[in-house]
Amino acid sequence: MIEVLQGFPDQVAAYACSGHLTKADYKKILADVEDRYTRHKKLRSYTEVANDFNGLDPGALWEDAKLGFAHMFDWDRFAVVTDLEWISRTTKFMAMFMPMEGRVYPIAEAAKAREWISET
């Protein structure tokens, strides 16, 4: 499941992920991201990944990849907040190949991550 998080600047696409993600989950997020692109040239991404997150369907993975490739240079920075080691390590590895600044924070530092992603 993906939930849109409130309380962020409009150029920050902020989400919380838990359980298992489906293609339908990503379709909602794609609509939210595309709507933000009508108002902003560059976006930022903030994602909280809960401890009960257990993966995503192949269709969801494809939607995520399409979004990433379509807007690869349209993101300013991203933050991932999680205590799941496999998500943390994978994100840090993938960040080396991305044309934006990315950081990973433990859940205990979510406030710090929110501050960093929202700063101007």
Domain with residue 77: its CATH number is 3.30.750
Indicate the number of domains in the chain. 1
Task: Say whether pLDDT at 68 is over 90.
Answer: no
| Better-predicted residue by pLDDT, 71 or 13 | 13
E-only strand ranges, the chain:
2-4, 12-17, 43-49, 75-82, 101-105
Q: What is the pLDDT of residue 58?
A: 75
pTM beyond cutoff 0.95: no
CA dist., res. 11 & res. 14, Å (int) = 9
Q: What is the pLDDT of residue 67?
A: 65
Domain region containing 113: 2-118
Q: Which of 5-14, 52-61, 88-97 has the lowest mean pLDDT?
A: 52-61
Phi/psi at 60 (5° precision): -70, -40
Task: Say whether pLDDT at 73 is over 90.
Answer: no
CA dist., res. 3 & res. 29, Å (int) = 9
Q: Which of 22-26, 32-36, 111-115 has the lowest mean pLDDT?
A: 22-26
Average pLDDT taken over every residue of the chain: 88
